[in-house]
Amino acid sequence: MNPEIAKLGHVSLVTPNLDKSLWFFHDVIGLEITERSSDTVYLRANGEFEHHSLILKAGDRAYMDHIGWRVKRPEDVELFEHLLKKSGTEVQKLPKGQETGQGDAIRFQMPTGHNLELYYDVEKPLAPEGERSVLKNQTHKSWNRGISPRRIDHVNVWTSHDPGGAHNWLTEQLGFKMREYIRLDNGQVISGWMSVTPLVHDIAVMAEPNAPTPARLHHVAYWLDNAQDVLRACDILREHGITPDQGPGKHGISQALFTYVRDPGSGHRVELFSNGYLIFDPDWEPVEWTEEELALGLTLWGPTDYIPHRDNHAMDQTTEA
């Protein structure tokens, strides 16, 4: 049996101002703190049982340390290690506990230089007394603080390399399926939305030829229940003195409602995301958007400045293993 990835687990972000970033993600976005040390904080959304979906680390600049993916079976970690090494990918083994709340893991790089991590075992701590939901199928109280997203949804990364190589690698090495993509008139595929779940994308890989480094983070997305929650989020952001980076609007690709906002402590971009559609068809054919349709695909309505090749503000991402 081939190893499989089950879901997006977490994203680890480095910030030059941990206190301000923690204020943003905890008090404004509304993520709950599960554990912290002097220089690292682990957070999760109110509907998440696993130890964390976001790691904030103190550092001298803003960059994404890694993206964590949970595999379907305990043995899949070792099976992926074997397959990746066989294909020529350098793999680092991480023992249980090296990342708080997580079991044995492996870390390696995409062809773009983005760091990925695979694991299965993860702690699922109860919420503290007084913050625990009365719902047995939810960890923390609803609307306990800030915007209160339910879960992490996806991550979007940019690269100055040809993203087609990354798309093929994600399919061949990790089992991702292409769901929607943009093809230019010259035949180049510049953006691809890919998933291992019924979501339209667990990860998107997009081209940014002007990026100063090949491995960039565009955004990490958190899921809100409906469109009204996205509008409510905009009110909450402004009440905290924060202006959304873009939105609200609606993507053509994914059909989702969205608002983008930047963490004032680091500049990392967060997407607040809702609606859209799910894919259950086993014979799904990837949807192609042409160069002429590019703007419509990215923004059906709302501000239209979210265009590849025109945004030079994506955050640096380390190339360290």
CATH code for the domain of 106: 3.10.180.10
188 and 295 housed in the same domain: yes
299 and 160 housed in the same domain: yes
| Burial (CB count <10 Å: 0-12, 13-18, 19+), residue 140 | buried
104 and 198 housed in the same domain: no
pLDDT digits (tens, 9 = 90+) for 102-143: 999 999 999 999 999 999 999 999 999 999 999 999 999 999
Element (H, E) at 6: strand 5-15
pLDDT digits (tens, 9 = 90+) for 183-194: 999 999 999 999
The rounded distance, in Å, linking the Cα atoms of 296 and 253 is 8
311 and 245 housed in the same domain: yes
pLDDT of residue 210: 86
pTM of the model: 0.94
217 and 258 housed in the same domain: yes
For residue 223, tell me if it sits in a domain.
Answer: yes
Residue 56: how many CB atoms within 10 A of its CB?
Answer: 28
16 three-class SS: coil
238 and 289 housed in the same domain: yes
Peptide bond into 248 cis (omega under 30): yes
Residue with tokens 């939305």: 193
| Burial (CB count <10 Å: 0-12, 13-18, 19+), residue 5 | buried
Residue 319 has pLDDT above 60, yes or no: no
175 and 81 housed in the same domain: no
Task: Count structural domains, the chain.
Answer: 2
pLDDT of residue 1: 83
The rounded distance, in Å, linking the Cα atoms of 221 and 240 is 20
213 and 113 housed in the same domain: no
Residue with tokens 């040390």: 37
Weakest-pLDDT range from 124-128, 278-282, 307-311: 307-311
Parallel, antiparallel, or unpaired: how do β-strands 269-275 and 287-290 relate?
unpaired
Is the four-CA dihedral 99, 104, 105, 106 of positive or negative sign? positive
What range defines the domain where residue 83 resides? 5-119
Is the four-CA dihedral 25, 48, 256, 317 of positive or negative sign? positive
pLDDT of residue 317: 47
For residue 126, tell me if it sits in a domain.
Answer: no
